[in-house]
Structure 1
């Protein structure tokens, strides 16, 4: 006889991260308990009003702020952004474009361009290698006939 399975649970911080919300902004009962996988799935499928409002208005966790601003989390730190931001604060930064944000977005764009260039280069090398392998295979087949 196997023992009954216990439901998977996670810490509130993990659940908040998976929900894309800031833990400190969640209700106290959420912060103090554990969240089961089933509860998380339910929160993701049919989010309660507090999840909807936090996702919409914030305050947002760093990874969400960085994503909305088009920079990295390190870029936020270099820009002096250490606290969670609301959607209004993010929109204000995007509208006013402080110098650090312009610089970090340019850096991020350059990193993306370089990653695309390297990916294209690797794909071209793979195509050439596959072509050479096909040619070698055809030569070997022709030589055996």
Structure 2
């Protein structure tokens, strides 16, 4: 008995997350279908124009917004940012450089330093 290899599929929300795009901004046919692993790989390897445009201008999902602002997703929430932002809105926020954003960047920098310190300590302990 031979088993037929079936292609692994995922919901559009999962595929959008893996592609780093906001699901509601994707084309209807993407939102309404399922995405196979092969289709996802093809989208990543050779993104169609709609995907390139979304990545370039947004709206971006919160993880992407947080990364572009160099803060955590929690920091976004503390700053009152709960909706997706476009690249233009992110750039405006960076230019305004509000107090809450400066504070969140400082917190994120401290977290990165502590993570590096712990990693180095663990590396020495293992070595």
With structure 2 as the length reference, what TM-score do the two structures score?
0.94
After TM superposition, list the pairs within 5 Å mapping 1:1-145 onto structure 2: 1-127=1-127
CA RMSD in angstroms comes to 1.2
Describe the superposition over 1:14-71 as per-residue Cα deviations: whole angstroms up to 9, x where unpaired: 1111111100000001100001111111111111000000000000011000000000
Describe the superposition over 1:70-126 as per-residue Cα deviations: whole angstroms up to 9, x where unpaired: 000000000000000000011111111111100000001111112222223333344
Helix, strand or coil: the match of 2:121? helix
Helix, strand or coil: the match of 1:2? coil
With structure 1 as the length reference, what TM-score do the two structures score?
0.83
**Normalized per residue, which structure has more helix?**
1
How many residues are matched? 127
Helix, strand or coil: the match of 1:55? helix
Structure 1's unaligned 5+ residue stretches are 128-145
1: CA distance, partners of 2:111 / 2:52:
33
Structure 1 stretches of 4+ with a deviation exceeding 6 A read none
Structure 2's unaligned 5+ residue stretches are none
Deviates more, 1:52-61 or 1:33-42: 33-42
Q: Which has the higher contact order (CA 8 A, sep 6+)?
A: 2
